[in-house]
């Protein structure tokens, strides 16, 4: 093993990555059953390294380590935890090139975006929760009984964090930073396809002074490691981000054990372009909304609803602009769209585009793989002519695919935007301030953006309604979800 548990990484070249181990109780260890899982570079389709494949017995060990560490960690002052979390942010910035390279090769993220978004945001998340770690407080309540009555906010205990493949760094950090700030210990299970940055972050948190056992990382399959976490008696909360289908199972399983859960699930957001929109800005926002992270973005906007008066114009502009988006090697700084993160995600996109033509859709641009030397590349695709009932409109595709539908009235736009089972994000383009507020209030979504897309910050909570889940990431709301309230009433 080198300095870094996942390898020495040149600035922004493809890194050489050493095989990864589990991180339990501050130690790197093999899985009990000695299993290994391949990790693939999605831009070449080649195996780049392996990670340990854990099973339920490794989860037991990680949970035991977390339980052992929890007591002392919960007793540290918020200020001490803040210092440590702030050091994490500093180390992320110092080791930025290395993290960018690992995350990019693992997920297929363009290095320029990975640096500006994933890595920069991850540092900001730790910085933000470092601040909040010092602000945890209860309240004094004045009641008629002669007493001194107050509430305390206490950590929950051990959190099981289960994360998806698409934003490994950011989505694990939202959970780990908030949970640790509140004084919890964590067992983290990253996604099978993209586990590498979780191991690198374990090393960084240890370097920052997070005590042994406070963060444990167990790589492995959902059905084995994830499932073991959901029902483990030593886990006090499940923080899950992933698909609605797995989330439904996870919520039911954790619910059976009466564990609190947060469920950050699938999305299928609409971007509404009203007739009074600033069209140049709107087009940029629309394209960003569906190609960002190769469309593997829960809060992406894959459904464009455009006022009928602009419909033909918008389609014409999109046809040219989308075809010109640079797709290619994530390690080329000019690349905007990289490959899909895994072959199976690419296959799913192909299947939906095939279905779109069956359902009467017309491919305006894209609609096929891009052959770039064995990687999982797909051309950003725009599809017109589908109606609301179409499966391609209703379901989450999770790839660089945009459907475009016309509407006539504000009421119709709102009904179409709200007309799927999901409710994670939504957006609108308008120059009418009153309309912006009016429509934002009517959209069924955890976050609404006006005149841009994906404006996110650790201070702004996000999360879902309807089949997109419940609970919030980011903001003080997330911190609170990692605490429980105790009331103390002292007779006077």
**Contact positions vs ligand NAD (CB under 6 A):** 162-167, 171, 189, 191-192, 222-223, 226-227, 230, 241-243, 246, 249-250, 264-267, 298, 396, 398, 424, 464, 468-469
CA-wise closest residue to 20 among 192, 167, 171, 160: 192
Smaller CB separation from ligand NAD, 227 or 237: 227
The catalytic residue among 192, 264, 396, 444 is: 264
The catalytic residue among 298, 396, 410, 444 is: 298
Smaller CB separation from ligand NAD, 242 or 289: 242
Smaller CB separation from ligand NAD, 269 or 283: 269
Written as six digits, the tokens of 245 are: 């289908």
46 is catalytic: no
- Report the nearest approach of ligand NAD to the CB of residue 221 (Å): 6
- Report the nearest approach of ligand NAD to the CB of residue 104 (Å): 18
114 is catalytic: no
Q: Strand pairing of 22-24 and 27-29? A: antiparallel
- Report the nearest approach of ligand NAD to the CB of residue 240 (Å): 7
The catalytic residue among 109, 175, 237, 288 is: 175
Residue 442 gets the label, from left (phi > 0), alpha (psi -120 to 50) or beta, of: alpha
Smaller CB separation from ligand NAD, 5 or 396: 396
Written as six digits, the tokens of 104 are: 């990019």
Smaller CB separation from ligand NAD, 210 or 246: 246
- Report the nearest approach of ligand NAD to the CB of residue 149 (Å): 37
Smaller CB separation from ligand NAD, 12 or 202: 202
Q: Is residue 316 classed exposed, middle or buried when 0-12, 13-18 and 19+ CB atoms within 10 A define those classes?
A: exposed
CA-wise closest residue to 167 among 59, 44, 38, 294: 294
Smaller CB separation from ligand NAD, 113 or 315: 113
Strand locations in 311-433 (E): 362-365, 381-384, 401-407, 425-429
Q: How far apart are CA 211 and CA 185, in angstroms?
A: 10
Residue 253 contacts residue 229 (beta carbons within 8 Å): no
CA-wise closest residue to 333 among 118, 105, 112: 112
Q: How far apart are CA 47 and CA 50, in angstroms?
A: 8
- Report the nearest approach of ligand NAD to the CB of residue 474 (Å): 10
- Report the nearest approach of ligand NAD to the CB of residue 91 (Å): 25
- Report the nearest approach of ligand NAD to the CB of residue 192 (Å): 5
User: Radius of gyration over alpha carbons of the chain, in Å?
Assistant: 23
264 is catalytic: yes
Looking up tokens 């007779």 gives 491
DSSP of 10-63, one letter per residue? -SSSPPP-PPB-EEETTEEE--TT-EEEEEEETTTTEEEEEEEE--HHHHHHHH
Q: List residues bridging with 158 in a β-sheet.
A: 185
Contacts of 208 (CB under 8 A, 6+ apart): 84, 85, 87, 88, 90, 91
175 is catalytic: yes
Q: Strand pairing of 362-365 and 469-470? A: unpaired
Active site residues: 175, 264, 298, 473
């Amino acid at each position: 093993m080198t300095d870094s548990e996942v390898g020495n990484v040149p600035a922004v070249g493809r890194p050489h990555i050493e095989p990864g181990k589990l991180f339990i109780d501050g130690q790197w260890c093999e899985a009990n059953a000695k299993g290994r899982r391949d990790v693939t570079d999605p831009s070449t389709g080649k195996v780049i390294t392996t990670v340990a494949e854990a099973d339920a017995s490794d989860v037991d060990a990680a949970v035991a380590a977390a339980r052992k560490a929890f007591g002392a960690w919960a007793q540290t002052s918020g200020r001490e935890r803040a210092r440590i979390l702030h050091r994490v942010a500093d180390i992320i910035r110092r080791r930025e090139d290395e993290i960018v390279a690992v995350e990019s090769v693992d997920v297929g993220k363009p290095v320029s975006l990975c640096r500006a978004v994933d890595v920069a945001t991850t540092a900001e998340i730790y910085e933000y929760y470092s601040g909040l770690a010092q602000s945890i407080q209860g309240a004094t309540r004045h009641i008629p009984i002669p007493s001194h009555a107050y509430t305390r906010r206490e950590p929950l205990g051990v959190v099981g964090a289960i994360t998806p493949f698409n934003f490994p760094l950011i989505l694990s950090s939202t959970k780990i930073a908030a949970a640790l700030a509140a004084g919890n210990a964590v067992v983290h299970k990253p996604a099978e396809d993209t586990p590498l940055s979780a191991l690198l972050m374990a090393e960084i948190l240890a370097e920052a002074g997070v005590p042994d056992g406070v963060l444990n990382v167990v790589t492995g399959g959902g059905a084995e490691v994830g499932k073991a976490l959901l029902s483990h008696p030593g886990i006090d909360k499940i923080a899950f981000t992933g698909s609605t289908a797995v989330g439904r199972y996870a919520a039911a399983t954790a619910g059976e054990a009466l564990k609190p859960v947060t469920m950050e699930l699938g999305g299928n957001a609409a971007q509404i372009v009203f007739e009074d929109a600033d069209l140049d800005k709107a087009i940029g926002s629309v394209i960003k909304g569906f190609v960002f992270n190769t469309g593997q973005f829960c809060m992406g906007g894959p459904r464009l609803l455009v006022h009928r008066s602009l419909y033909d114009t918008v389609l014409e502009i999109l046809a040219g602009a989308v075809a010109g988006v640079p797709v290619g090697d994530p390690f080329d700084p000019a690349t905007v769209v990289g490959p899909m993160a895994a072959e199976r995600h690419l296959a799913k996109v192909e299947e939906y585009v095939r279905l779109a033509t069956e359902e009467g859709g017309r491919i305006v641009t894209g609609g096929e793989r891009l052959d770039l030397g064995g990687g999982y590349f797909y051309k950003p695709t725009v599809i017109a002519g589908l109606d609301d009932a179409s499966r391609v409109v209703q379901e989450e595709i999770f790839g660089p695919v945009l459907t475009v539908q016309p509407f006539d009235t504000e009421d119709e736009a709102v009904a179409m935007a709200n007309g799927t089972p999901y409710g994670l994000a939504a957006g609108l383009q308008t120059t009418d301030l009153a309309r912006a507020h009016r429509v934002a209030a009517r959209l069924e979504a955890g976050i609404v953006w006006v005149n841009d897309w994906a404006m996110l910050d650790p201070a702004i909570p996000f999360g879902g309604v309807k089949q997109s889940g419940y609970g919030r990431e980011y903001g003080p709301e997330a911190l609170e979800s990692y605490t429980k309230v105790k009331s103390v009433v002292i007779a006077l």
